[in-house]
Amino acid sequence: MRFLFPGFLAALGFLAIPIIVHLFNFVRYKKIHFSNVHFLKEVKEQTQSRSRLKHLLILAARLLAVLFLVFAFAQPYIPIKNSIVKEGSKAVSIYIDNSFSMESIGKNGTLLDEAKKDALDVLKSFSSTDKFQLLTNDFSGKHQHWVNKKIFSEMLDEVKISPAVRSFQEIIDRQKDMFESTPDPTQLSYIFSDFQKGDFNLVGLKPDTNVSYQLVPLSGNKVPNVYIDSCWFNTPARQFNQPEVLEVRLINTGDQDAENIPIKLQLNGEQRAVSSTSIKARGNVTIPLSFTHKESGLVNGQVQITDYPISYDNTYYFSYEVKKKIKLLIINQEDENSYLNKLFLTDNLFEVTQATTKNIDYGSFNHYDLLIASNLDELSSGLSDQLKQAIENGLNVLVFPGTKIQMEEYNAFLRTFSVSLMPLDTAMVSVSKIDYKHPLYKDVFDVSKMKNAVINLPQVNKHYPLSTHNQGNQEILINLSNNDDFLVQFSYGKGNLFFCASPLTDGYSNFQRHAIFVPTLYRIALSGNTGDPIFYTIGHSRAIVLNSSRLPEDPVFHIQSLDGKSDFIAQTSSSGFGFMINADKQIKEAGNYFIKGNAGDTLKGVSFNYNRTESRSDFYTSNELESGATELHLNNLKIIDKGVKNMAAALLQISKGTQLWKWCVIFALLCLTAEIAIIRWMKG
């Protein structure tokens, strides 16, 4: 037991007063004369014994009354383990989880309302000299200040449900920045949340050791939920008038099977596919939705299911562009390559521009979907730098080396991709392996029929062996029998480099005459400029790239919702060949959006979805949090189980320990009452 104000213990000296009164009782006795005192002597002896007991009991009651009264002023408490109560002003940061999951119904309304009410109880347990910070998932600038009780209450009333989601470490880091700005000796953090396991992982958590953290788990009614987790295309590019398959993954968080869940696909407001499915309890399923693109241009899509009562995750938005023409730039050393011309010039799908190393317009690179360096002997530093920058900004580049290459220039270019060329190998080898699972070859070959078949693969007479230094950024598409790589894809930035180990000419290989040549280059061309995601997640910082040199020098971009009700100026910065748009803090609602230029022309379509971590109904209990904090030695993390006591009382106990002064007042009053009872009713 400790005392909050130990100075009052000096008043224990007043215990001497009842002792002095007891020892020096100055009551005068009257003398009464009796003729026979034989019987009075016996009565006197009995009365003195009772009187002595009575006085001792009165003395004890008075001493205890004074003792408990002094203790009440000194305010004794039983401190919480590893908790030290300090005097002086306190800095208190209160985090309110306002994510979608806090809309669940708890004991007293929604969990958000319950958290706000409990936060007010926290406010009442501190003095007016303390200062407070309110923190929510929005990380709003107005919450980055210390405020008093009144302003905090006003800000608390404004807290609404938000699509933003924050990790435990992000919350602690944000609070740490605020605590570093104040010299207050006591720094306290209160975290009100339902503690979803996806967001509040204790493993790897690094809390500030100078701060005392109080975690307040809020539990609501557990509701089963079926939601759309994601959607994607397995093929690299969308083609006009070609069949497509959109894969949609659904997840069931409930403990019972979900039967006959309807699924609808809409493209540009038109329903294009319908399906239904059943999902096992705690399971997931992937549904293919097939359709054909009837027109080219921008496509705004959405997948919908029907599931209640949680509905914010029943729709998934996506957008992409279907190009009627694929634009190619072929850079030749001097003469044009006849094999490339036969493949691309005879197909109306492709719009081909030819150039040589002497007349390249570097500024036009971002107009194309694929750039092909055809049998170049030299890679000047200027061309090399422009190619690397183009790849980094999202362009795909296909390189066929020349027959008489400048090895140093090529290796200077390839060093960026952690690869280098070795001297020409003139030994004849054959292709031994093709990665049929790669998206470039998906649905090109019937793999099931090729397992036991004898396949005629290309022959390679001369090639430049590749020495790779980082296998994490490469995918081998075609491999040779001597284990050398023939065609490799290197990812870099937002784009890809496709590199062939042999020149595209007779005498070096028959790749250009083989059946595999057409689908390989055709798919590489179609995969050009497909680095843009078909959707973004609200709350995840990922810039939107606009690769266009046709924009004015100082463009102003607007982001407009599909219905036109939301329109705001985007935060923009220039980068490389285009502009970077960061709409992370501006987009608040899921949906399809347009990016428009100065003249109101549509430049791009983008889609935003709510973070699906809020759809998972896995939450930490108080016991799990407590045991996790103990196992990980997070000693300054305390868990408040609201089911045990009133919120205000629980928070007061955490900040000051178990208070005993009220009990001291009660015991003092009981002692005084006992003294009165002894004086009045005890004979002697």
Within this chain, do residues 97 and 71 fall inside the same structural domain, yes or no? no
Within this chain, do residues 595 and 637 fall inside the same structural domain, yes or no? no
Residue 15, in any domain of the structure:
yes
C-alpha–C-alpha distance, residues 232 and 229, integer Å = 11
534-586 confidence digits (pLDDT tens): 999 988 777 787 765 456 566 788 899 988 888 888 888 776 556 788 887 78
More confident site: 30 or 637: 637
Contacts of 593 (CB under 8 A, 6+ apart): 559, 560, 561, 562, 566, 587, 605, 606, 607, 608
- What per-residue confidence (pLDDT) applies to 36? 61
449 pLDDT exceeds 60? Answer: no
The number of beta carbons lying within 10 Å of the beta carbon of residue 311 is 12
pLDDT classification of 220: cutoffs 50, 70, 90 = confident
Within this chain, do residues 280 and 297 fall inside the same structural domain, yes or no? yes
Residue 617, in any domain of the structure:
no
Residue 619, in any domain of the structure:
no
Least trusted range by pLDDT, from 26-30, 140-144, 462-466, 614-618:
26-30
Contact yes or no for 270/561 (Cβ under 8 A)? no
What is the DSSP secondary structure assignment for residue 268, as one 8-state letter? T
C-alpha–C-alpha distance, residues 112 and 118, integer Å = 10
The CATH number linked to 296 is 2.60.40.10
Within this chain, do residues 218 and 230 fall inside the same structural domain, yes or no? no
- Residue ranges making up the domain that contains 235: 226-308
pLDDT classification of 282: cutoffs 50, 70, 90 = very high
Within this chain, do residues 387 and 469 fall inside the same structural domain, yes or no? yes
Which residue, among 241, 300, 293, 295, has the nearest Cα to 267 in the 3D structure?
300
Distance set, CA 216 to CA 144, 166, 175, 213 (Å)? 22, 17, 16, 10
Residue 531, in any domain of the structure:
no
Within this chain, do residues 336 and 477 fall inside the same structural domain, yes or no? yes
- The last residue of one of the domains, among 250, 276, 308, is 308
Within this chain, do residues 59 and 94 fall inside the same structural domain, yes or no? no
Within this chain, do residues 333 and 462 fall inside the same structural domain, yes or no? yes
Within this chain, do residues 343 and 481 fall inside the same structural domain, yes or no? yes
- What per-residue confidence (pLDDT) applies to 318? 96
Which residue, among 307, 308, 250, has the nearest Cα to 279 in the 3D structure?
250
Within this chain, do residues 399 and 294 fall inside the same structural domain, yes or no? no
The CATH number linked to 491 is 3.40.50.880
| Strand ranges (E), 295-349 | 297-305, 315-322, 326-332
- The last residue of one of the domains, among 253, 275, 308, is 308
Residue 85, in any domain of the structure:
no
Within this chain, do residues 377 and 473 fall inside the same structural domain, yes or no? yes
Contacts for 139-143: CB closer than 8 Å, 24+ residues apart: 139/164, 139/166, 139/174
- What per-residue confidence (pLDDT) applies to 11? 82
404-430 confidence digits (pLDDT tens): 999 999 999 999 999 999 999 999 999
520-524 average pLDDT score: 90
- What per-residue confidence (pLDDT) applies to 655? 56
Residue 343, in any domain of the structure:
yes
Within this chain, do residues 144 and 42 fall inside the same structural domain, yes or no? no
More confident site: 80 or 641: 641
Residue 412, in any domain of the structure:
yes
- Into how many domains does the chain fold? 5
Contact yes or no for 335/355 (Cβ under 8 A)? no
Helix ranges restricted to H, 75-135: 111-124
Residue 271, in any domain of the structure:
yes
86-99 confidence digits (pLDDT tens): 567 889 999 999 99
Least trusted range by pLDDT, from 83-97, 206-220, 330-344, 497-511:
83-97
The CATH number linked to 558 is 2.60.40
- What per-residue confidence (pLDDT) applies to 9? 82
- The last residue of one of the domains, among 501, 526, 551, is 526
The CATH number linked to 195 is 3.40.50.410
